[in-house]
């Protein structure tokens, strides 16, 4: 069994449109966007709703719980292996992320995961996901 | 307006080099242009339309038109990664049909092998909206295909052995191509024994990194008939872009579900009519998914369709990538679209290697997947026919 190694994260790329997301992440909260016109959540966050076109979108806190939609162990591209995954949040949107705190051999599609945060260079934080009991 | 039979591919040329340390990228574009024009029996002064994509150096279109000394009245630098050059063929046919040009030149060239730019690591650029939400996780090109492969296995029971058959078929074809980068025939066991690079993809599930390029000359049918080459017409085309759907990610299908039916409808043919297909093979999973999405088999059946050598010319009902494809022959500039068109033209002219030539090949499908299959990609499909 091989534990997923921990790795360093570069400082988040903060801009005027995503600053609230990274501020919340540094406080341990995963924000997503929800449209107040059509009530649909979307990912990645935008200043408008990609589903209906409304500009009435709100930052809302995700429960941080989700399910692995797909994953892959990147074995050669970095100094240590790392796991890229699509995680479908319980709010319905699927986001790209990394999986952490798991044995590589135990990972499987459909596995329940919860958000966790990793400190990044420069003081920010990056949301990642760790498997949890179903 | 339909483009059916409104334009012909009169010139097609693939650069023979797979490593070009002593040539510049612009020079490779020039040599490809020269080769395709000579193949058609035309000259640079005949060109009045020019098409290139993101591999063109400098200011792209502007640098290349100036460098090549072209005098053009129609240009198009549509950029959808490796699928760009199929879209260029379609757009050239549209432009010719509309009277905007009569001789369209399309070039692709690059030196990723000499420059040690495998395309593995995507540089994190500012001002790209998705990058802040993806770059922290260090996605590389092959991840976007591996994620689709992993989901395909989960949904449909596709196996690593079935994926490997795509590479095995490519290697059987490449042994007959003297220019192919990898000419050794490999087995399913060889593919599975190669190192895992991004589960479930092994090293041999990935295309080569090669220098080189290719060019095409698309002309008005009147010009094509005045030349000495076999007539290869553009019969139908489709283009599409698929992304993450605002978070509604579904990796089980690609943009070919849109670009394919559009091309078939325009050409007035069906997948059952096709005996040769050039299908973008950046990775083995790319081919499996396109076979399904283009309608050669039902969704989820791609693994069984490709298994047991059925993609090898003379064995199955559909021969795929008889030049050895991106997996074995060539993937110039990390973009294989133009070589896909070139091998289809060879097949339609009856000029493929005799060991892989599809007898009486009258129809060919060309499919390109550019960008990143699992995040955002361009899909283009062409149906070509010999007159």
Per residue in A68-109, pLDDT (tens digit) is: 999 999 998 888 999 999 999 999 999 999 999 999 999 999
Mean pLDDT over all residues of chain B?
96
Q: How far is CA B230 from CA A56, B227, B323, B386, in A?
A: 58, 8, 20, 7
Task: For the full predicted model, state whether its pTM sits above 0.90.
Answer: yes
Residue B122 has pLDDT above 70, yes or no: no
Q: What is the mean pLDDT of residues B199-203?
A: 98
Q: Domain span at residue B63?
A: 8-116+207-386
ipTM: 0.97
Q: What is the CATH number of the domain that holds B312?
A: 3.40.47.10
Q: Go through the domains of chain A in sequence order and give each one's CATH number.
A: 19-131 (2.40.50.840)
List all residues 6 or more positions away from B264 whose beta carbon is below 8 Å from its beta carbon.
B236, B270, B271, B295, B381, B383
- Report CA B217 to chain centroid distance, whole Å: 16
Cα separation of B306 and B319, whole Å?
10
B170 belongs to a structural domain: no
List all residues 6 or more positions away from B193 whose beta carbon is below 8 Å from its beta carbon.
none
B93 belongs to a structural domain: yes
Of the candidates A12, A70, A93, the beta carbon closest to that of B150 is on: A70
Are B147 and A86 an interchain contact pair (Cβ–Cβ within 8 Å)? yes
Give how far A12 is from chain B: nearest CA, Å: 7
Are A51 and B246 an interchain contact pair (Cβ–Cβ within 8 Å)? yes
Chain length of chain A: 134
> Is the Cβ of B133 closer than 8 Å to some Cβ of chain A?
yes
Kindly state the tokens that stand for A94: 């699927």
Chain A residues with CB inside 8 Å of B198's CB? 72-75, 77, 84
B188 belongs to a structural domain: no
pLDDT band at B124 (very low <50, low <70, confident <90, very high): low
Are A13 and B126 an interchain contact pair (Cβ–Cβ within 8 Å)? yes
Cα separation of A110 and A134, whole Å?
10
Q: Compare all CA atoms of chain B with the CA of A100 and give the residue at the minimum distance.
A: B137
Cα separation of A107 and A71, whole Å?
8
- Write out pLDDT tens, residues B77-104: 999 999 999 999 999 999 999 999 999 9
Sheet holding A57-61, edge to edge: A41-42, A31-35, A57-61
> Is the Cβ of B118 closer than 8 Å to some Cβ of chain A?
no
Are A74 and B247 an interchain contact pair (Cβ–Cβ within 8 Å)? no
> Is the Cβ of B148 closer than 8 Å to some Cβ of chain A?
yes
Inter-axis angle of helices B256-267 and B284-293, nearest 10: 50
How much is the pLDDT for B123? 57
Interface test with B, best of A39, A50, A62, A96 (most B CBs within 10 A): A96
Contact at 8 Å (CB) between B376 and B79?
no
| Other Cβ atoms closer than 10 A to B129 | 13
Residue B23 has pLDDT above 70, yes or no: yes
- Type and span of the H or E element at A131: strand A125-131
- The mean-pLDDT minimum among B89-93, B120-124, B189-193, B285-289 falls in B120-124
B197 belongs to a structural domain: no
B186 belongs to a structural domain: no
Are B151 and A78 an interchain contact pair (Cβ–Cβ within 8 Å)? no
Cα separation of B49 and B185, whole Å?
41
pLDDT band at B119 (very low <50, low <70, confident <90, very high): low
Residue A47 has pLDDT above 70, yes or no: yes
Nearest partner of B255 among B286, B281, B234, judged by Cα: B286
Chain length of chain B: 387
B327 belongs to a structural domain: yes
How much is the pLDDT for B117? 73
Chain A residues with CB inside 8 Å of B126's CB? 13, 15
B135 belongs to a structural domain: no
Cα separation of A120 and A11, whole Å?
5
Residue B9 is given by DSSP the state E
Chain B residues with CB inside 8 Å of A10's CB? 124, 135-136
| Number of domains, chain B | 1
Interface test with A, best of B126, B137, B200 (most A CBs within 10 A): B137
**Torsion, Cα of B128, B132, B133, B137 (10° steps):** 120
Contact at 8 Å (CB) between B356 and B322?
yes
pLDDT band at B127 (very low <50, low <70, confident <90, very high): confident
């Amino acid at each position: 069994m091989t534990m997923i190694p921990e790795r360093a994260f570069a400082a988040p790329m903060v801009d005027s449109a995503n600053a609230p997301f990274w501020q919340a992440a540094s406080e341990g909260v995963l924000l997503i966007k929800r449209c107040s016109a059509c009530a649909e959540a979307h990912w990645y966050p935008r200043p408008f709703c990609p589903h209906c076109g409304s500009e009435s979108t709100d930052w809302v806190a995700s429960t941080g719980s989700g399910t692995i939609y797909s994953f892959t162990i990147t074995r050669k591209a970095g100094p240590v292996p790392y796991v890229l995954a699509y995680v479908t949040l319980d709010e319905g949107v699927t986001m790209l992320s990394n999986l952490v705190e798991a044995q590589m051999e135990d990972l499987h599609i459909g596995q329940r995961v919860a958000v966790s945060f990793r400190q990044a260079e420069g003081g920010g934080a990056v949301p990642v996901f760790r498997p949890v009991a179903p | 307006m339909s483009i059916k039979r409104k334009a012909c591919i009169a010139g097609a040329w693939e650069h023979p080099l797979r490593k070009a340390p002593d040539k510049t990228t612009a020079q490779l574009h020039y040599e490809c242009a020269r080769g395709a024009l000579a193949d058609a029996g035309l000259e640079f002064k005949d060109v009045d339309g020019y098409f290139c994509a993101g591999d063109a150096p400098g200011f792209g279109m502007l640098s290349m038109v100036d460098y090549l000394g072209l005098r053009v009245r129609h240009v198009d630098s549509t950029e959808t990664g490796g699928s760009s050059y199929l879209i260029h063929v379609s757009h050239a046919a549209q432009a010719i049909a509309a009277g905007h040009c009569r001789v369209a030149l399309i070039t692709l060239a690059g030196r990723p092998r000499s420059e040690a730019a495998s395309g593995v690591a995507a540089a994190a650029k500012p001002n790209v909206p998705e990058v802040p939400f993806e770059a922290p996780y260090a996605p590389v090109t092959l991840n976007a295909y591996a994620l689709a492969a992993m989901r395909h296995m989960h949904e449909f029971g596709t196996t690593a052995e079935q994926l490997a058959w795509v590479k095995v078929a490519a290697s059987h074809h490449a042994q007959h191509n003297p220019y192919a980068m990898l000419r050794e025939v490999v087995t399913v066991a060889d593919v599975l024994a190669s190192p895992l690079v991004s589960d479930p993809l092994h090293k041999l599930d990935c295309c080569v990194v090669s220098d080189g390029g290719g060019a095409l000359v698309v002309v008005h049918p009147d010009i094509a008939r005045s030349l000495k080459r076999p007539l290869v017409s553009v019969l139908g085309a489709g283009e599409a872009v698929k992304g993450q759907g605002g978070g509604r990610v579904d990796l089980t299908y690609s943009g070919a579900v849109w670009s394919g039916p559009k091309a078939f409808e325009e050409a007035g043919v069906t997948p059952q009519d096709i005996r040769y297909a050039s299908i973008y093979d950046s990775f083995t999973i790319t081919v499996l998914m396109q076979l399904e999405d283009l309608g050669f088999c039902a969704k989820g059946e791609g693994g069984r369709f490709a298994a047991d050598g059925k993609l090898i010319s003379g064995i199955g009902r559909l021969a795929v990538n008889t030049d050895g494809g991106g997996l074995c022959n060539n993937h110039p500039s990390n973009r294989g679209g133009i070589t896909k068109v070139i091998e289809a033209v060879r097949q339609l002219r009856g000029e493929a290697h005799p060991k892989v030539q599809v007898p009486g090949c009258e129809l060919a499908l060309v499919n390109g997947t550019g960008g990143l299959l699992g995040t955002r990609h361009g899909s283009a499909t062409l149906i070509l026919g010999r007159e």
